[in-house]
Chains A and B, each alone.
Chain A
Amino acid sequence: MDVLIVEDARDQRKLLSAVIRRLGHTVHQAEDGVEALAVLTERSEISIVISDWMMPNMDGISLCEAIRDGRFQRYIYFILLTGKTDRDATVKGLSVGADDFLRKPVDYQELEARLKSGARVISLEQSLELKNEQLAKTLTSVESDLESAAKTQESLLAPPAVIQGVGFDWHFQPSQILGGDMFGYHALDDEHVMFYQLDVAGHGIPSALFSFTLNNLLMDMDAHTTMLREQISNPPYYKVRPSEDVVASLNQRFQTTAETMLYFTMIYGVIHTPTGKVRMTHAGHPETLWLRPADGELHPIKDTGLPVGMMPGMSWSFSELTLKKGDRLFMYSDGITECENPTGEQYGDQRLRDALYGGRQMPMKEMIDKVWSELSDWRDCNTFDDDVTYLVLEYQGG
Protein backbone atom coordinates (compact mmCIF):
# COMPACT_ATOMS: atom_id res chain seq x y z
CA MET A 1 0.00 0.00 0.00
CA ASP A 2 1.00 3.62 -0.42
CA VAL A 3 0.94 5.38 2.93
CA LEU A 4 1.22 9.13 3.53
CA ILE A 5 2.71 10.28 6.83
CA VAL A 6 1.77 13.80 7.90
CA GLU A 7 3.86 15.03 10.81
CA ASP A 8 5.55 18.37 11.46
CA ALA A 9 8.30 16.95 13.72
CA ARG A 10 11.01 15.81 11.34
CA ASP A 11 12.48 13.11 13.61
CA GLN A 12 9.12 11.55 14.32
CA ARG A 13 8.30 11.53 10.62
CA LYS A 14 11.59 9.86 9.66
CA LEU A 15 11.17 7.24 12.34
CA LEU A 16 7.60 6.36 11.39
CA SER A 17 8.57 6.26 7.71
CA ALA A 18 11.36 3.80 8.38
CA VAL A 19 9.10 1.51 10.36
CA ILE A 20 6.32 1.53 7.80
CA ARG A 21 8.73 1.00 4.94
CA ARG A 22 10.02 -2.06 6.77
CA LEU A 23 6.46 -3.41 6.90
CA GLY A 24 6.55 -3.44 3.11
CA HIS A 25 4.65 -0.25 2.29
CA THR A 26 5.61 2.66 0.06
CA VAL A 27 5.91 5.81 2.14
CA HIS A 28 5.14 9.42 1.22
CA GLN A 29 5.65 12.36 3.55
CA ALA A 30 4.16 15.75 4.28
CA GLU A 31 4.88 18.39 6.94
CA ASP A 32 1.34 19.60 7.44
CA GLY A 33 -2.23 19.36 6.18
CA VAL A 34 -1.74 21.74 3.28
CA GLU A 35 1.19 19.80 1.88
CA ALA A 36 -0.67 16.52 2.54
CA LEU A 37 -3.57 17.60 0.34
CA ALA A 38 -1.16 18.54 -2.45
CA VAL A 39 0.56 15.14 -2.25
CA LEU A 40 -2.79 13.28 -2.18
CA THR A 41 -3.94 15.18 -5.25
CA GLU A 42 -0.79 14.36 -7.16
CA ARG A 43 -0.47 10.75 -6.02
CA SER A 44 -3.70 8.90 -6.59
CA GLU A 45 -2.12 5.63 -5.47
CA ILE A 46 -2.09 6.79 -1.84
CA SER A 47 -4.99 5.26 0.05
CA ILE A 48 -3.90 5.47 3.70
CA VAL A 49 -3.02 8.61 5.65
CA ILE A 50 -1.44 8.63 9.10
CA SER A 51 -1.63 12.15 10.43
CA ASP A 52 -0.54 13.97 13.53
CA TRP A 53 -3.11 16.14 15.25
CA MET A 54 -1.31 19.37 16.08
CA MET A 55 0.47 20.90 13.11
CA PRO A 56 1.02 24.42 11.75
CA ASN A 57 -1.01 25.68 8.74
CA MET A 58 -3.55 22.90 8.75
CA ASP A 59 -3.99 20.46 11.62
CA GLY A 60 -5.01 16.79 11.49
CA ILE A 61 -8.70 17.45 12.12
CA SER A 62 -8.96 20.01 9.31
CA LEU A 63 -7.04 17.69 7.00
CA CYS A 64 -9.47 14.87 7.73
CA GLU A 65 -12.42 17.16 7.10
CA ALA A 66 -10.93 18.25 3.79
CA ILE A 67 -10.37 14.65 2.68
CA ARG A 68 -13.97 13.78 3.55
CA ASP A 69 -15.52 16.70 1.67
CA GLY A 70 -15.66 14.72 -1.56
CA ARG A 71 -12.71 16.20 -3.43
CA PHE A 72 -11.10 12.77 -3.94
CA GLN A 73 -12.70 10.09 -6.09
CA ARG A 74 -11.18 7.27 -4.05
CA TYR A 75 -11.70 6.26 -0.46
CA ILE A 76 -8.80 7.35 1.79
CA TYR A 77 -8.33 5.57 5.09
CA PHE A 78 -7.48 8.08 7.80
CA ILE A 79 -5.53 7.24 10.96
CA LEU A 80 -5.18 10.07 13.47
CA LEU A 81 -2.23 10.25 15.87
CA THR A 82 -3.39 11.39 19.30
CA GLY A 83 -1.39 12.58 22.24
CA LYS A 84 -2.76 10.57 25.13
CA THR A 85 -5.83 8.54 25.87
CA ASP A 86 -7.71 11.66 25.10
CA ARG A 87 -11.47 10.94 24.94
CA ASP A 88 -12.32 14.34 23.42
CA ALA A 89 -9.74 13.85 20.69
CA THR A 90 -11.28 10.51 19.77
CA VAL A 91 -14.78 11.94 19.67
CA LYS A 92 -13.69 14.90 17.57
CA GLY A 93 -11.70 12.66 15.22
CA LEU A 94 -14.63 10.29 14.73
CA SER A 95 -16.98 13.17 14.10
CA VAL A 96 -14.90 14.45 11.17
CA GLY A 97 -14.55 10.97 9.70
CA ALA A 98 -11.30 9.48 11.00
CA ASP A 99 -11.25 5.70 10.59
CA ASP A 100 -8.82 4.83 13.35
CA PHE A 101 -6.51 6.23 16.03
CA LEU A 102 -2.96 5.62 17.06
CA ARG A 103 -1.58 6.75 20.39
CA LYS A 104 1.78 8.44 20.72
CA PRO A 105 4.34 7.20 21.40
CA VAL A 106 3.58 4.74 18.66
CA ASP A 107 3.61 1.06 19.50
CA TYR A 108 4.91 -0.59 16.33
CA GLN A 109 2.95 -3.82 16.67
CA GLU A 110 -0.21 -1.83 17.08
CA LEU A 111 0.75 0.25 14.06
CA GLU A 112 1.15 -2.91 11.97
CA ALA A 113 -2.23 -4.22 13.09
CA ARG A 114 -3.97 -0.92 12.31
CA LEU A 115 -2.40 -0.69 8.89
CA LYS A 116 -3.60 -4.21 8.13
CA SER A 117 -7.13 -3.35 9.10
CA GLY A 118 -6.87 -0.21 6.96
CA ALA A 119 -5.72 -2.28 3.99
CA ARG A 120 -8.71 -4.59 4.47
CA VAL A 121 -11.16 -1.69 4.40
CA ILE A 122 -9.47 -0.19 1.35
CA SER A 123 -9.67 -3.42 -0.60
CA LEU A 124 -13.35 -3.81 0.32
CA GLU A 125 -13.97 -0.24 -0.81
CA GLN A 126 -12.21 -0.93 -4.09
CA SER A 127 -14.16 -4.09 -4.85
CA LEU A 128 -17.37 -2.28 -3.98
CA GLU A 129 -16.45 0.50 -6.36
CA LEU A 130 -15.74 -2.03 -9.11
CA LYS A 131 -19.13 -3.68 -8.55
CA ASN A 132 -20.83 -0.31 -8.62
CA GLU A 133 -19.21 0.43 -11.94
CA GLN A 134 -20.37 -2.91 -13.36
CA LEU A 135 -23.87 -2.31 -12.04
CA ALA A 136 -23.99 1.13 -13.58
CA LYS A 137 -22.89 -0.31 -16.93
CA THR A 138 -25.48 -3.09 -16.75
CA LEU A 139 -28.19 -0.63 -15.81
CA THR A 140 -27.35 1.55 -18.79
CA SER A 141 -27.61 -1.38 -21.17
CA VAL A 142 -30.90 -2.58 -19.62
CA GLU A 143 -32.31 0.92 -19.91
CA SER A 144 -31.33 1.19 -23.54
CA ASP A 145 -32.88 -2.24 -24.22
CA LEU A 146 -36.11 -1.10 -22.58
CA GLU A 147 -36.06 2.05 -24.63
CA SER A 148 -35.66 0.15 -27.88
CA ALA A 149 -38.44 -2.26 -26.84
CA ALA A 150 -40.70 0.75 -26.22
CA LYS A 151 -39.85 2.03 -29.70
CA THR A 152 -40.74 -1.36 -31.16
CA GLN A 153 -44.03 -1.25 -29.31
CA GLU A 154 -44.81 2.17 -30.80
CA SER A 155 -43.76 1.13 -34.29
CA LEU A 156 -46.27 -1.75 -34.21
CA LEU A 157 -49.21 0.57 -33.65
CA ALA A 158 -51.47 1.18 -36.63
CA PRO A 159 -51.35 4.79 -37.87
CA PRO A 160 -54.58 6.83 -37.70
CA ALA A 161 -56.74 5.89 -40.69
CA VAL A 162 -60.14 5.95 -42.33
CA ILE A 163 -61.13 2.47 -43.49
CA GLN A 164 -64.39 2.01 -45.40
CA GLY A 165 -65.80 5.17 -43.88
CA VAL A 166 -64.73 4.30 -40.35
CA GLY A 167 -62.21 6.67 -38.79
CA PHE A 168 -59.67 5.47 -36.24
CA ASP A 169 -57.44 7.64 -34.10
CA TRP A 170 -55.78 7.18 -30.75
CA HIS A 171 -53.43 8.32 -28.06
CA PHE A 172 -50.67 6.14 -26.67
CA GLN A 173 -48.40 7.09 -23.79
CA PRO A 174 -46.02 4.26 -22.88
CA SER A 175 -45.20 3.86 -19.20
CA GLN A 176 -41.74 4.46 -17.83
CA ILE A 177 -41.16 0.75 -17.35
CA LEU A 178 -42.68 -0.59 -20.56
CA GLY A 179 -46.24 -1.84 -20.39
CA GLY A 180 -48.28 -4.31 -22.34
CA ASP A 181 -50.89 -2.17 -24.11
CA MET A 182 -51.54 -2.81 -27.78
CA PHE A 183 -54.30 -2.09 -30.29
CA GLY A 184 -55.01 -2.25 -34.00
CA TYR A 185 -57.62 -2.29 -36.77
CA HIS A 186 -57.87 -3.46 -40.35
CA ALA A 187 -60.36 -4.56 -42.99
CA LEU A 188 -61.43 -8.22 -42.90
CA ASP A 189 -63.10 -7.89 -46.30
CA ASP A 190 -64.93 -5.21 -48.30
CA GLU A 191 -67.55 -4.59 -45.65
CA HIS A 192 -66.08 -5.64 -42.32
CA VAL A 193 -63.43 -3.87 -40.29
CA MET A 194 -62.01 -5.37 -37.11
CA PHE A 195 -60.58 -3.44 -34.17
CA TYR A 196 -59.04 -4.51 -30.93
CA GLN A 197 -57.40 -3.18 -27.83
CA LEU A 198 -55.61 -5.23 -25.22
CA ASP A 199 -53.65 -4.81 -22.03
CA VAL A 200 -51.31 -7.56 -20.87
CA ALA A 201 -51.11 -7.80 -17.07
CA GLY A 202 -47.92 -6.62 -15.42
CA HIS A 203 -45.09 -4.55 -16.81
CA GLY A 204 -41.72 -4.92 -18.39
CA ILE A 205 -40.23 -7.09 -21.09
CA PRO A 206 -42.41 -10.23 -20.59
CA SER A 207 -45.66 -8.25 -20.87
CA ALA A 208 -44.40 -6.25 -23.85
CA LEU A 209 -43.17 -9.31 -25.75
CA PHE A 210 -46.49 -11.03 -25.17
CA SER A 211 -48.36 -8.00 -26.52
CA PHE A 212 -46.11 -8.05 -29.64
CA THR A 213 -47.01 -11.70 -30.24
CA LEU A 214 -50.72 -11.02 -29.92
CA ASN A 215 -50.46 -8.05 -32.24
CA ASN A 216 -48.70 -10.14 -34.90
CA LEU A 217 -51.45 -12.71 -34.75
CA LEU A 218 -54.36 -10.27 -34.84
CA MET A 219 -52.89 -8.00 -37.49
CA ASP A 220 -51.97 -10.79 -39.91
CA MET A 221 -53.98 -9.60 -42.89
CA ASP A 222 -52.52 -11.88 -45.54
CA ALA A 223 -53.53 -15.23 -44.19
CA HIS A 224 -56.69 -16.49 -45.91
CA THR A 225 -58.03 -18.18 -42.88
CA THR A 226 -57.00 -16.90 -39.54
CA MET A 227 -58.49 -16.76 -36.15
CA LEU A 228 -60.60 -13.87 -37.47
CA ARG A 229 -62.14 -15.54 -40.54
CA GLU A 230 -63.19 -19.13 -40.85
CA GLN A 231 -63.30 -21.17 -44.02
CA ILE A 232 -66.66 -22.34 -45.36
CA SER A 233 -67.52 -24.42 -48.39
CA ASN A 234 -69.70 -21.86 -50.22
CA PRO A 235 -68.71 -18.56 -51.82
CA PRO A 236 -67.11 -16.36 -50.69
CA TYR A 237 -65.58 -19.36 -48.88
CA TYR A 238 -65.04 -17.57 -45.59
CA LYS A 239 -67.09 -16.16 -42.78
CA VAL A 240 -66.15 -13.36 -40.43
CA ARG A 241 -66.00 -14.95 -37.01
CA PRO A 242 -68.10 -13.41 -34.24
CA SER A 243 -66.19 -11.44 -31.61
CA GLU A 244 -66.93 -13.80 -28.74
CA ASP A 245 -65.53 -16.76 -30.72
CA VAL A 246 -62.32 -14.91 -31.50
CA VAL A 247 -61.81 -14.15 -27.81
CA ALA A 248 -62.55 -17.77 -26.88
CA SER A 249 -59.99 -18.96 -29.46
CA LEU A 250 -57.34 -16.65 -28.05
CA ASN A 251 -58.17 -17.99 -24.61
CA GLN A 252 -57.62 -21.57 -25.75
CA ARG A 253 -54.34 -20.66 -27.35
CA PHE A 254 -52.79 -18.51 -24.61
CA GLN A 255 -53.25 -19.97 -21.16
CA THR A 256 -51.21 -18.42 -18.38
CA THR A 257 -49.07 -20.66 -16.23
CA ALA A 258 -48.75 -20.41 -12.47
CA GLU A 259 -45.19 -19.19 -13.07
CA THR A 260 -45.66 -16.41 -15.63
CA MET A 261 -48.93 -14.89 -14.39
CA LEU A 262 -49.37 -13.45 -17.90
CA TYR A 263 -52.93 -12.88 -19.07
CA PHE A 264 -54.63 -9.98 -20.79
CA THR A 265 -57.81 -8.01 -20.88
CA MET A 266 -59.17 -7.05 -24.29
CA ILE A 267 -61.85 -5.64 -26.48
CA TYR A 268 -62.42 -7.29 -29.82
CA GLY A 269 -65.01 -5.96 -32.23
CA VAL A 270 -66.09 -6.04 -35.86
CA ILE A 271 -68.04 -3.31 -37.59
CA HIS A 272 -70.18 -4.02 -40.65
CA THR A 273 -69.32 -0.85 -42.52
CA PRO A 274 -72.38 -0.45 -44.83
CA THR A 275 -74.82 -0.55 -41.90
CA GLY A 276 -72.75 0.59 -38.90
CA LYS A 277 -73.58 -2.59 -37.02
CA VAL A 278 -70.99 -3.48 -34.42
CA ARG A 279 -70.52 -6.71 -32.55
CA MET A 280 -67.99 -6.55 -29.77
CA THR A 281 -66.74 -8.47 -26.76
CA HIS A 282 -65.12 -7.16 -23.57
CA ALA A 283 -62.85 -9.59 -21.76
CA GLY A 284 -62.16 -8.07 -18.36
CA HIS A 285 -61.45 -4.76 -20.11
CA PRO A 286 -62.89 -1.38 -19.10
CA GLU A 287 -66.24 -0.65 -20.76
CA THR A 288 -66.42 1.08 -24.12
CA LEU A 289 -68.04 4.50 -24.05
CA TRP A 290 -70.44 5.11 -26.92
CA LEU A 291 -70.76 8.82 -27.77
CA ARG A 292 -73.90 9.75 -29.67
CA PRO A 293 -74.13 13.30 -30.94
CA ALA A 294 -77.85 12.74 -31.73
CA ASP A 295 -78.85 12.68 -28.05
CA GLY A 296 -75.58 14.09 -26.70
CA GLU A 297 -75.17 11.18 -24.33
CA LEU A 298 -72.46 8.76 -23.27
CA HIS A 299 -73.56 5.13 -23.18
CA PRO A 300 -71.35 2.58 -21.49
CA ILE A 301 -71.26 -0.76 -23.27
CA LYS A 302 -71.22 -3.52 -20.73
CA ASP A 303 -70.71 -7.13 -21.61
CA THR A 304 -68.13 -8.03 -19.05
CA GLY A 305 -66.28 -11.30 -19.23
CA LEU A 306 -63.17 -12.91 -17.82
CA PRO A 307 -59.77 -11.70 -18.95
CA VAL A 308 -58.16 -13.94 -21.56
CA GLY A 309 -55.78 -16.69 -20.48
CA MET A 310 -56.92 -17.27 -16.92
CA MET A 311 -58.99 -20.39 -17.28
CA PRO A 312 -59.40 -22.77 -20.22
CA GLY A 313 -62.79 -23.61 -21.68
CA MET A 314 -64.51 -20.32 -20.87
CA SER A 315 -67.03 -18.56 -23.09
CA TRP A 316 -67.79 -14.89 -23.65
CA SER A 317 -70.85 -12.84 -24.48
CA PHE A 318 -71.11 -9.88 -26.83
CA SER A 319 -72.80 -6.54 -27.34
CA GLU A 320 -74.51 -5.51 -30.55
CA LEU A 321 -75.10 -1.91 -31.46
CA THR A 322 -75.79 0.10 -34.57
CA LEU A 323 -73.78 3.26 -35.04
CA LYS A 324 -75.23 6.30 -36.72
CA LYS A 325 -73.19 8.75 -38.71
CA GLY A 326 -71.02 10.72 -36.30
CA ASP A 327 -71.21 8.17 -33.46
CA ARG A 328 -67.97 7.34 -31.73
CA LEU A 329 -66.67 4.46 -29.62
CA PHE A 330 -64.10 5.35 -26.99
CA MET A 331 -62.00 2.39 -25.81
CA TYR A 332 -59.35 2.71 -23.12
CA SER A 333 -56.97 0.84 -20.86
CA ASP A 334 -57.09 1.05 -17.07
CA GLY A 335 -53.90 3.15 -17.22
CA ILE A 336 -56.25 6.15 -17.57
CA THR A 337 -58.68 5.51 -14.75
CA GLU A 338 -55.94 4.24 -12.39
CA CYS A 339 -53.67 7.19 -13.20
CA GLU A 340 -52.75 8.82 -9.89
CA ASN A 341 -52.25 12.50 -9.19
CA PRO A 342 -49.39 13.66 -6.91
CA THR A 343 -51.50 12.93 -3.81
CA GLY A 344 -52.19 9.36 -4.92
CA GLU A 345 -55.82 9.84 -5.95
CA GLN A 346 -56.96 7.92 -9.04
CA TYR A 347 -58.36 9.71 -12.10
CA GLY A 348 -61.42 7.46 -12.09
CA ASP A 349 -64.36 6.84 -14.42
CA GLN A 350 -66.24 10.03 -13.67
CA ARG A 351 -63.46 12.45 -14.61
CA LEU A 352 -62.91 10.57 -17.84
CA ARG A 353 -66.60 10.75 -18.68
CA ASP A 354 -66.68 14.44 -17.88
CA ALA A 355 -63.69 15.11 -20.12
CA LEU A 356 -65.26 13.14 -22.96
CA TYR A 357 -68.61 14.78 -22.48
CA GLY A 358 -66.93 18.18 -22.67
CA GLY A 359 -65.29 17.19 -25.95
CA ARG A 360 -68.20 15.40 -27.58
CA GLN A 361 -68.85 18.13 -30.15
CA MET A 362 -65.21 18.51 -31.12
CA PRO A 363 -63.60 16.84 -34.13
CA MET A 364 -62.10 13.45 -33.18
CA LYS A 365 -58.50 14.64 -33.01
CA GLU A 366 -59.39 17.61 -30.80
CA MET A 367 -61.38 15.40 -28.47
CA ILE A 368 -58.40 13.04 -28.17
CA ASP A 369 -56.09 15.94 -27.36
CA LYS A 370 -58.53 17.34 -24.81
CA VAL A 371 -58.71 14.06 -22.91
CA TRP A 372 -54.93 13.85 -22.95
CA SER A 373 -54.43 17.40 -21.73
CA GLU A 374 -56.86 16.89 -18.84
CA LEU A 375 -55.20 13.63 -17.88
CA SER A 376 -51.70 15.19 -18.02
CA ASP A 377 -52.88 18.05 -15.81
CA TRP A 378 -54.18 15.48 -13.35
CA ARG A 379 -50.95 13.50 -13.39
CA ASP A 380 -48.80 16.62 -13.13
CA CYS A 381 -45.67 14.60 -13.88
CA ASN A 382 -44.00 13.44 -17.11
CA THR A 383 -43.84 9.75 -16.34
CA PHE A 384 -46.67 7.25 -16.04
CA ASP A 385 -46.76 4.04 -14.00
CA ASP A 386 -48.78 2.18 -16.61
CA ASP A 387 -49.38 2.53 -20.34
CA VAL A 388 -52.11 5.03 -21.12
CA THR A 389 -53.98 4.06 -24.27
CA TYR A 390 -57.23 5.07 -25.83
CA LEU A 391 -58.59 4.23 -29.21
CA VAL A 392 -61.43 6.13 -30.82
CA LEU A 393 -63.58 4.83 -33.66
CA GLU A 394 -65.86 7.18 -35.56
CA TYR A 395 -68.57 6.00 -37.93
CA GLN A 396 -68.55 8.42 -40.82
CA GLY A 397 -71.42 6.83 -42.65
CA GLY A 398 -69.93 3.76 -44.31
Chain B
Amino acid sequence: MGFSNRQEADKTVVEVDESRLDASLATPFRDYIFDLIGQGQKDLIVDLSKVDFMDSSGLGAIVAALKQVGGDGAIQLAGPQKSVHDLFDLTCMDKIFKIHGSVDDALSDSSKH
Protein backbone atom coordinates (compact mmCIF):
# COMPACT_ATOMS: atom_id res chain seq x y z
CA MET B 1 0.00 0.00 0.00
CA GLY B 2 1.08 3.58 -0.52
CA PHE B 3 3.60 5.24 -2.77
CA SER B 4 7.25 4.59 -3.45
CA ASN B 5 9.86 5.85 -5.86
CA ARG B 6 13.05 4.68 -7.50
CA GLN B 7 15.61 6.14 -9.84
CA GLU B 8 15.76 4.78 -13.40
CA ALA B 9 18.43 6.44 -15.52
CA ASP B 10 17.80 10.17 -15.03
CA LYS B 11 14.13 9.73 -14.13
CA THR B 12 12.17 9.12 -10.97
CA VAL B 13 9.58 6.38 -11.23
CA VAL B 14 6.74 6.86 -8.76
CA GLU B 15 4.84 3.68 -8.08
CA VAL B 16 1.27 3.95 -6.86
CA ASP B 17 0.66 0.78 -4.88
CA GLU B 18 -3.06 1.37 -4.42
CA SER B 19 -6.07 -0.03 -6.23
CA ARG B 20 -8.06 3.21 -5.91
CA LEU B 21 -6.69 6.69 -6.44
CA ASP B 22 -9.70 8.65 -5.19
CA ALA B 23 -10.72 11.49 -2.87
CA SER B 24 -9.29 9.74 0.19
CA LEU B 25 -5.80 9.49 -1.35
CA ALA B 26 -5.70 12.62 -3.53
CA THR B 27 -4.13 14.84 -0.89
CA PRO B 28 -1.55 12.32 0.43
CA PHE B 29 -0.57 11.52 -3.16
CA ARG B 30 -0.22 15.18 -4.08
CA ASP B 31 1.89 15.81 -0.96
CA TYR B 32 4.10 12.83 -1.78
CA ILE B 33 4.78 14.12 -5.30
CA PHE B 34 5.27 17.69 -4.05
CA ASP B 35 7.93 16.39 -1.64
CA LEU B 36 9.78 14.70 -4.50
CA ILE B 37 9.57 17.86 -6.60
CA GLY B 38 10.75 19.87 -3.59
CA GLN B 39 13.81 17.61 -3.40
CA GLY B 40 14.60 18.51 -6.98
CA GLN B 41 13.19 15.41 -8.67
CA LYS B 42 11.35 16.98 -11.55
CA ASP B 43 11.42 14.33 -14.22
CA LEU B 44 8.78 11.88 -13.06
CA ILE B 45 7.10 8.79 -14.46
CA VAL B 46 3.98 7.84 -12.51
CA ASP B 47 3.35 4.09 -12.64
CA LEU B 48 -0.42 3.59 -12.47
CA SER B 49 -0.48 -0.10 -13.36
CA LYS B 50 -1.91 -1.13 -9.97
CA VAL B 51 -4.71 1.45 -9.98
CA ASP B 52 -8.04 0.07 -11.15
CA PHE B 53 -10.15 3.10 -10.23
CA MET B 54 -9.38 6.79 -10.36
CA ASP B 55 -11.90 9.56 -9.77
CA SER B 56 -11.90 13.29 -10.41
CA SER B 57 -9.99 13.96 -7.18
CA GLY B 58 -7.23 11.53 -8.15
CA LEU B 59 -7.01 13.20 -11.53
CA GLY B 60 -6.86 16.58 -9.76
CA ALA B 61 -3.82 15.41 -7.77
CA ILE B 62 -1.94 14.41 -10.93
CA VAL B 63 -2.74 17.73 -12.58
CA ALA B 64 -1.65 19.57 -9.42
CA ALA B 65 1.71 17.75 -9.72
CA LEU B 66 2.00 18.89 -13.34
CA LYS B 67 1.38 22.49 -12.28
CA GLN B 68 3.93 22.15 -9.49
CA VAL B 69 6.82 20.97 -11.71
CA GLY B 70 6.11 23.85 -14.04
CA GLY B 71 8.19 24.44 -17.14
CA ASP B 72 11.47 22.95 -15.95
CA GLY B 73 10.25 19.40 -15.42
CA ALA B 74 8.02 16.70 -16.84
CA ILE B 75 5.46 14.24 -15.61
CA GLN B 76 4.64 11.18 -17.67
CA LEU B 77 2.00 8.58 -16.93
CA ALA B 78 2.53 4.87 -17.43
CA GLY B 79 0.54 1.65 -17.43
CA PRO B 80 -3.05 2.82 -16.96
CA GLN B 81 -5.58 -0.02 -16.74
CA LYS B 82 -8.68 0.13 -18.92
CA SER B 83 -10.93 2.08 -16.54
CA VAL B 84 -8.20 4.64 -15.88
CA HIS B 85 -7.45 4.82 -19.59
CA ASP B 86 -11.14 5.47 -20.27
CA LEU B 87 -11.01 8.37 -17.81
CA PHE B 88 -7.92 9.74 -19.57
CA ASP B 89 -9.74 9.47 -22.91
CA LEU B 90 -12.85 11.20 -21.61
CA THR B 91 -10.81 14.06 -20.18
CA CYS B 92 -8.26 14.22 -23.01
CA MET B 93 -5.32 13.84 -20.67
CA ASP B 94 -3.13 13.04 -23.68
CA LYS B 95 -3.24 16.75 -24.47
CA ILE B 96 -1.31 17.63 -21.34
CA PHE B 97 0.50 14.38 -20.41
CA LYS B 98 2.57 11.80 -22.25
CA ILE B 99 0.85 8.51 -21.57
CA HIS B 100 2.71 5.21 -22.02
CA GLY B 101 1.60 1.58 -21.94
CA SER B 102 4.19 0.73 -19.29
CA VAL B 103 7.13 2.17 -17.36
CA ASP B 104 9.51 0.32 -19.70
CA ASP B 105 7.85 1.95 -22.69
CA ALA B 106 8.23 5.34 -21.05
CA LEU B 107 11.91 4.74 -20.30
CA SER B 108 12.81 3.35 -23.73
CA ASP B 109 10.80 6.09 -25.41
CA SER B 110 12.73 8.80 -23.61
CA SER B 111 16.11 7.16 -24.23
CA LYS B 112 15.45 7.37 -27.98
CA HIS B 113 15.26 11.14 -27.89
Q: Which of A202, A203, A304, A306 contacts B96 (CB 8 A)?
A: A306
A199 closest partner in B (C-beta): B56
User: Closest approach, in angstroms, between the C-beta of B57 and any C-beta of chain A?
Assistant: 5
The distance in angstroms between the C-alpha atoms of A113 and B59, with both chains bound, is: 58
Within 8 A of A (CB), among B48-83: 55-57, 59-61, 63-65, 67-68
A-B contact pairs, 29 of them (CB 8 A): A201-B59, A202-B26, A203-B57, A256-B60, A256-B63, A256-B67, A257-B64, A258-B34, A258-B67, A259-B64, A261-B60, A261-B63, A261-B64, A262-B60, A265-B56, A284-B90, A304-B89, A304-B90, A304-B91, A306-B91, A306-B95, A307-B56, A307-B59, A307-B91, A310-B96, A311-B63, A311-B95, A314-B95, A334-B56
**Is B107's CB within 8 Å of the partner chain A?**
no
CB distance from A350 to the nearest CB of B (A): 13
SS of B interface (majority): helix
Contacts of A307 in B (CB 8 A): 56, 59, 91
With an 8 A cutoff between CB atoms, is A99 at the interface? no
B36 adjacent to chain A (CB < 8 Å) = no
Report Cα–Cα, A262/B64, bound state, in Å.
Answer: 9
What 3 pairs between A and B have smallest CB-CB spacing? Answer: A261-B60, A201-B56, A284-B91
Residues of the A chain whose Cβ atoms lie less than 8 Å from the Cβ of B92? 284, 304-306
Task: Judge whether B68 and A258 touch: CB under 8 Å.
Answer: yes
Q: Please tell me if A100 contacts chain B, counting CB pairs below 8 Å.
A: no
| Chain B, interface residues (CB within 8 Å), range | 20 to 34
A residues whose Cβ falls under 8 Å from a Cβ of B: 199, 201-203, 256-259, 261-263, 265, 284-286, 304-307, 310-311, 314, 334, 338, 386
Q: Which of A285, A304, A310, A338 contacts B63 (CB 8 A)?
A: A310
Q: Indicate which residue in A199, A202, A304 contacts B23 across the interface (CB closer than 8 Å).
A: A202
Contact B55 A338 (CB under 8 A): yes
A261 touches B26 (CB 8 A): yes
B85 CB–A CB distance under 8 Å: no
B56, B60, B95, B96, most chain A CB atoms within 10 A: B56
Question: Which A residues lie within 8 Å of B60 (CB)?
Answer: 201-202, 256, 261-263
- For residue A318, give the distance in angstroms from its CB to the closest CB of chain B: 14
Contact A311 B96, CB 8 Å, known A202-B23, A257-B67, A261-B30: yes
Evaluate contact between A261 and B90: CB separation under 8 angstroms. Answer: no
Q: Which chain A residue has the least Cβ–Cβ distance from B57? A: A202
**What B residues does A285 contact at CB under 8 A?**
90
A202 to B26, CA, bound (A): 9
Residues of B within 8 A of A314 (CB): 95
Q: Determine the chain A residues whose CB is within 8 A of the CB of B56 once the complex forms.
A: 199, 201-202, 265, 307, 334
Pairwise interchain contact B90-A258, C-beta atoms closer than 8 A: no
CB distance from B83 to the nearest CB of A (A): 8
Q: B34, B68, B90: which contacts A286 (Cβ < 8 A)?
A: B90
**Which residues 10-44 of B have a CB within 8 angstroms of A?**
23, 26, 30, 34
**A310-B63, A311-B96 known; A201 vs B91 contact (CB < 8 Å):** no
State A143–B91 Cα separation when bound (angstroms): 33
Q: Give A286 to B90 CA distance when docked, in angstroms.
A: 7
Q: Could you tell me the distance in whole angstroms from the C-beta of B67 to the nearest C-beta in chain A?
A: 4
Query: Nearest-CB distance from B72 to chain A (Å)?
Result: 15
CB-contact partner of A261 in B61, B91, B95, under 8 A = B61
Minimum distance in angstroms from B69 CB to a CB of chain A: 10
B23 nearest CB across to chain A (Å): 6
Closest to A261 in B: B60
CA distance A304 to B108 in the complex (A): 30
Give 6 new A-B contacts, CB below 8 A, not counting A256-B64, A261-B57, A304-B89.
A258-B65, A304-B90, A304-B92, A311-B96, A314-B95, A334-B55
Q: Give Cα A306 to B97, complex, Å.
A: 11
Q: Find chain B residues with CB under 8 A from A386 CB.
A: 55
What's the Cα separation between A90 and B111 when bound, in Å? 70
Contacts of A203 in B (CB 8 A): 23, 57
Pick the most buried of B34, B65, B93, B95: most chain A CB atoms within 10 A of its CB: B95
Q: In the complex, what's the smallest C-beta–C-beta distance from B12 to chain A, in angstroms?
A: 18
Q: Which residue of B lies closest to A334 (CB)?
A: B56
In the docked arrangement, what's the CA distance between A263 and B90, Å? 15
List residues of chain A with CB within 8 A of the CB of B34: 258
Task: Report the Cα distance A199→B63, complex, angstroms.
Answer: 17
Chain A min CB distance to B111 (Å)? 27
Question: In the complex, what distance in Å separates the CA atom of A9 from the CA atom of B67?
Answer: 78
A256 CA / B62 CA spacing, docked (Å): 12
